[in-house]
Amino acid sequence: MLSISNLHVSVGDKPILKGLTLDVPAGEVHAIMGPNGAGKSTLGYALSGRPGYEATEGSVEWNGADLLDLDPAERAAKGVFLSFQYPIEIPGVPALTFVRTALNAQKRARGEAEVSAPEFLRLVKAASKALKMDFDMLKRPLNVGFSGGEKKRMEILQMALLEPSLLILDETDSGLDIDALRIVADGVNALRSPERSMLVITHYQRLLDYIKPDRVHVLAAGRIVASGGPELALQLEAEGYDKYLPAAA
Amino acid sequence: MSALFDIDLADASTFPSRRTEAWKYSDLRRYLREAPQPSPTTAIGAPGPFYDLGGEAIVFANGRAVGVTDFIASGEQILRLRYMSDAVGTGHSAGARVVARPGARLLLLETHEGAGSAYVAHNTLELDVAAGAEVTRVVLAEEPEDALSIAQAQVRVEAGGVFRQTVIATGAKLQRVETRIEHHARGAHVQADGLYLLDGARQADLTSVVRHLDRDGTTSQLIKGVARDTARGVFQGKIVVERGADGTDARMGHHALIASQRAEIDAKPELIIYADDVQCAHGNTVGTLDESALFYMQQRGVPADEARALLTQAFLIEVVDRIEHEGAREVVREWLTARL
């Protein structure tokens, strides 16, 4: 269970989230929709602990732990995974090396046994096959020269291997053609489980045709201003965000 | 003392200061006003980082030769050239001469191994690479943080020879690894790489001068470094293309990471060209670790220190990957990984 209560987050001196309250029970998929500038990406960064995104008020509880007290790597070890809108390129670090380092660091932090090299290779080969990824690509530096679709698949591959319990997808559909979108959505749907919570952040309804949410929330001006079932997404698609925006001056 | 090298530890008037342009970032006289007392004799201890690669050895212990000081290579050979210091507060000099005869392939593994403290070391090398010879020189300088260490090499690369070097420096109170290369071109190739990895208040100075004396020679230089804490990295790279050295192709790159607000990098790349029809380029960058990459790695569970080490290694490893000899490359790779 993710429980966000009255969360205020500033970037520099600028308040972005202004009292956001939201509960995501285990096993549910919640969509966060909203206009540009509403604070959607800020929410993803605040939950994952990006430096520069300062929580000035409120709390974020995840399975009994106060996330705001933890650094980003500690949050990851607790199961928090933020899928980036624009995954970062890391020259000089092969994708395989990176994922294995991350997986074993998480296991160490949780006091679990590390995964051996042969076992890891077996896991990666199975996961990359399911995502129709070329295994040789994983020997290349992480995301360097990857296409938009390849980068997103790389994110899904990491999810499949790291097995996070709280998945935050930030505009996962951006830059994807329809085939890539389907593969990515299938990858995410395969991870749906009663223990796993998902927060799907998106500007457009399109992604929600593929990843069906249990609940939809509208984020505007730093707060959740409306919540409903999947039909709310369709309504937003038809009517736009205008009625949730502050009246134009 | 060879006329090629102008520092004499017994004569303080020969100590360069920043008034000399070539020493403006590494003011020896600031740290050393008087000639140091001579270092005592000492025994050689550990076998050195390249021991497992075998080959012949020239060893100096506190400046005194343990055996020969000269070496002539023919055929395929490995030479470990070890300048060892374990003195405390005293000074010593050592000089070696190495010749690679025509057709020789020599792997020269040079180490500046320091124990003790606050010593002054001045180590020199004269190296001749004959026509058609190929020399790979790997210099690993790891010394105490309060040592003063000047290593100077004069390298002559004959027409058609190949000389590659990679300097790895961890700094000292002042640690300068200087290489002057006479490049006789005519198909000869020079690679003059290096990396520095500095923490605390350490300083390292990688200085090189490559002089293209004839036509159709190539030079490639890649230097990378990291300075943490209050450390200071100095790169001075000069490539001179003399009159008549047409068809020269020379590339120089220096890229440094500053890992702390109080660290410092001083870079002076110079291309001096007196010939026509040459291709020369240099690139120089100084930056910090990519914050978004650091966050990305941490978000996936890699702790901050480990993420920094991984990114730093990824940055530096390009220099190590260019070491031609596989065995030497692996030793340096492991050495580097253990220190990040």
Is residue A34 included in any domain, yes or no? yes
Q: Are residues B314 and A92, on separate chains, in Cβ contact within 8 Å?
A: yes
Per-residue pLDDT tens digits for B151-177: 999 999 999 999 999 999 999 999 999
Residue closest to A116 by CA, chosen among A124, A137, B306: A124
pLDDT at B220 over 80: yes
pLDDT at A15 over 90: yes
Per-residue pLDDT tens digits for A176-197: 888 888 888 998 999 999 999 9
What is the C-alpha separation between B217 and B319, in angstroms, rounded? 22
Per-residue pLDDT tens digits for B261-307: 999 999 999 999 999 999 999 999 999 999 999 999 999 999 999 99
End-to-end Cα spacing for chain B: 38
β-partners of residue A200 are A31, A169
Q: Identify the pLDDT of residue B217.
A: 98
β-partners of residue A184 are none
Is residue A71 included in any domain, yes or no? yes
ipTM > 0.85? yes
Q: Identify the pLDDT of residue A227.
A: 96
In this structure, how many other beta carbons lie within 10 angstroms of the beta carbon of residue B332? 24
Is residue A100 included in any domain, yes or no? no
- Residue A185 per-residue DSSP state: H
- Tally the domains of chain A: 1
Question: Average per-residue pLDDT in chain B?
Answer: 96
Is residue A10 included in any domain, yes or no? yes
From chain B residues 239-298, the ones with a CB under 8 A of any chain A CB are 290-293, 295-298
Is residue B202 included in any domain, yes or no? yes
What percentage of chain B has pLDDT greater than the value 70? 99
Contact status of A140 with chain B (Cβ, < 8 Å):
no
Contact status of A226 with chain B (Cβ, < 8 Å):
no
Is residue A186 included in any domain, yes or no? yes
Selected residue with higher pLDDT from A179 and A113 = A113
What is the C-alpha separation between A224 and A200, in angstroms, rounded? 14
Please answer whether residues B197 and B170 qualify as being in contact, where contact means their C-beta atoms are separated by less than 8 angstroms: yes
Structural domain containing residue A220: 2-91+163-244
Contact status of A76 with chain B (Cβ, < 8 Å):
yes
Q: What's the longest Cα–Cα distance across chain B?
A: 58
- Tally the domains of chain B: 1
Is residue B88 included in any domain, yes or no? yes
Between strands B56-61 and B76-85, the pairing is parallel
Please answer whether residues A219 and A40 qualify as being in contact, where contact means their C-beta atoms are separated by less than 8 angstroms: yes
Contact status of B306 with chain A (Cβ, < 8 Å):
yes
Per-residue pLDDT tens digits for B111-166: 999 999 999 999 999 999 999 999 999 999 999 999 999 999 999 999 999 999 99
From A145's Cα to the closest Cα of chain B, the distance in A is 15
Is residue A116 included in any domain, yes or no? no
CATH number, position A80: 3.40.50.300
pLDDT at B5 over 90: no
Is residue B122 included in any domain, yes or no? yes
From chain A residues 35-74, the ones with a CB under 8 A of any chain B CB are 48-51, 71-73
Structural domain containing residue B105: 12-289
Contact status of B314 with chain A (Cβ, < 8 Å):
yes
Q: Identify the pLDDT of residue B3.
A: 54
In this structure, how many other beta carbons lie within 10 angstroms of the beta carbon of residue A49? 24
Is residue B51 included in any domain, yes or no? yes
A113 Cβ contact partners less than 8 Å away, ≥ 6 residues apart? A107
Nearest chain A residue to B291 by CA distance is A51
Q: Are residues A51 and B291, on separate chains, in Cβ contact within 8 Å?
A: yes
Contacts B310 to A, Cβ<8 Å: 93, 98, 101
Least confident of A25-29, A234-238, B13-17: A234-238
Is residue B308 included in any domain, yes or no? no
